[in-house]
Amino acid sequence: MRTIDDLDVRGKRVLVRADLNVPLDGDRITDDGRIRASLPTINALRERGAKVIVCAHLGRPKGEVKPEFSLAPVARRLGELLGAEIAFASDVVGESARAVAAGLGDGQVALLENLRFEPGETSKDDAERGAFADRLAALAELYVGDGFGAVHRKHASVYDVPRRLPHAAGGLIVAEVGVLKRLTENVERPYAVVLGGSKVSDKLGVIDNLLDKADRILVGGGMVYTFLAAQGHQVGKSLLERDQIDTVREYLARAEKAGVEFVLPVDIVAATAFAADADHEVVPADAIPADRMGLDIGPASGRLFAERLAGTKTVFWNGPMGVFEMEPFAHGTRAIAQGLIDSGAFTVVGGGDSAAAVRTLGFDEAAFSHISTGGGASLEYLEGKTLPGLSALED
Ligand code: ADP
Ligand code: MG
């Protein structure tokens, strides 16, 4: 993969696909982690005298101009963090974008409005996407792909534009891919994978692929109830994907054959409702009452998981162990985060909510080896899929 060191960018207009998809409360950015992660590449290009045109998406406006999805608050924050004036285009590829791009001096930065205001960005129709990619590519002379969080999408700005311009990968993508390689090739052992969160079926593919690579797989969060059900236990009102029970049973059997250890919780915090003030109690994992739902792994499980992380050399963690947003159900996630830190292993946290959990529960981000900016993208990589944005950059 070419990097920006391989491009001669001085005096050139460089389109940078960044991932600036930050959580907003009204027009207040509640976590600017993704903006900060995009700074090194933008700064490197500025220092080399490029005219930097940043493009990115925010949320899912579905091809329509919706003011609540405007990147204007992101432009302000990006300007603050760069300590520079940002020229913000009020459209994506229209008059404003063309004027802003044409008016940039060397080392200056512009941001285009939300890519997903244009239906061509996410269109499944190659011609429609291509037509939009033509207009986007026409704004610049070079392309740098740095939006790791969107790299698994076959979208115009990710997949089609790099096929139209000389291109390179930005520093963030280079760093993220380097970490993912350490999780899939010549892995330092013992290698533990910790999975949780709510998107059960999203994460089963990762298990499928990592079953041959990991030494142990620890499961918590919402997906654990499908595992408990596969072992024949009642899970009450907990999250359950019935149509995945057979698949999970097959994974458990394959793991046993391959000598891969599955670590499941031995106790569960079971509540009467999905609410912070709901009545809750710790119950054995194989005896969840019919009228209760599991919202966290229990304290004995937290200790067990931390113990199974001790002595490992590589740990990948994706998905909170419980509903950490509510204090009574945050203990398991805290225990796992601490377990990663104490393991001394090469530790990678993937997933938007897992990264948010680490921050909101008060952990120092620097205590982990790497916190990924792209949950979906890293999961698809670990599933062994080809990521459209990476293959476009490699061509
Ligand atoms: P990530 O973004 O890290 O990949 P997910 O999006 O898959 O993680 O899941 C995060 C969500 O999972 C959190 O909002 C958390 O509240 C929820 N969650 C964790 N455990 C449970 C559970 N037992 N029941 C319901 N939701 C859960
Ligand atoms: Mg999530």
Give tens-digit pLDDT for 313-340.
999 999 999 999 999 999 999 999 999 9
Total-model pTM: 0.90
**What local confidence, expressed as pLDDT, does residue 352 receive?**
84
Average pLDDT, the chain: 96
Q: What is the mean pLDDT of residues 101-126?
A: 98
Predicted local distance difference test score (pLDDT) of residue 212: 84
- In angstroms, what is the span from residue 390 Cα to ligand 2's centroid? 22
pLDDT exceeds 80 at position 143: yes
> pLDDT per residue over 24-50, tens digit each?
999 899 889 899 999 999 999 999 999
List the residue whose alpha carbon is closest to atom 25 of ligand 1.
222
Q: Which atom of ligand 1 is nearest to the CA of 322?
A: 20
Q: Is the pLDDT of residue 65 over 90?
A: yes
Q: Which tokens is 58 given?
A: 């925010």
> Is 361 or 352 the better-scoring residue by pLDDT?
361
Q: 247-257 burial, b for 16+ CB within 10 Å, e for fewer?
A: bbbebbeebee
35 Cα–ligand 2 center, Å? 18
Mean pLDDT of 223-242: 96
332 is catalytic: no
Q: Position 41: which residue type?
A: T
Query: Tens digits of per-residue pLDDT, 363-388?
Result: 999 999 999 988 899 999 999 999 99
Whether 177 and 220 have beta carbons less than 8 Å apart is answered as no
β-strand partners of 349:
317, 371
Q: Is residue 351 over pLDDT 90?
A: no
pLDDT band at 201 (very low <50, low <70, confident <90, very high): confident
How much is the pLDDT for 171? 97
Structure confidence at residue 230 as a pLDDT band (50, 70, 90): very high
pLDDT for the residue numbered 59: 96
Which pLDDT band, with edges at 50, 70 and 90, does 237 fall under? Answer: very high
Residue 297 CA, ligand 1 centroid: distance in Å: 12
Residue of 204, 258, 205 lying closest to 227 (CA atoms) = 204
- Annotate the chain with three-state secondary structure: CCEHHHCCCCCCEEEEECCCCCCEECCEECCCHHHHHHHHHHHHHHHCCCEEEEECCCCCCCCCCCHHHCCHHHHHHHHHHHCCCEEECCCCCCHHHHHHHHCCCCCCEEECCCHHHCHHHHCCCHHHHHHHHHHHHCCCCEEEECCHHHCCCCCHHHHHHHHCCCEEECHHHHHHHHHHHHCCCCCCCCEEEEECCCCHHHHHHHHHHHCCCCCEEEECHHHHHHHHHHCCCCCCCCCCCHHHHHHHHHHHHHHHHHCCEEECCCEEEEECCCCCCCCEEEEECCCCCCCCEEEEECHHHHHHHHHHHCCCCEEEEECCCCCCCCHHHCHHHHHHHHHHHHHCCEEEEECHHHHHHHHHCCCCHHHCCEECCCHHHHHHHHCCCCCHHHHHHHC
Query: pLDDT tens digits for 253-308?
Result: 999 999 999 999 999 999 999 999 999 999 999 999 999 999 999 999 999 999 99
pLDDT at 395: 85
Ion ligand 2 residues within 5 Å by Cβ: 352-353
229: phi then psi, degrees, rounded to nearest 5: -65, -40
Mean pLDDT of 213-241: 96
In the predicted structure, residue 199 carries a pLDDT above the cut 80: no
Site to substitute for ligand 1 among 329, 353, 379, most atoms within 8 A of C-beta: 353
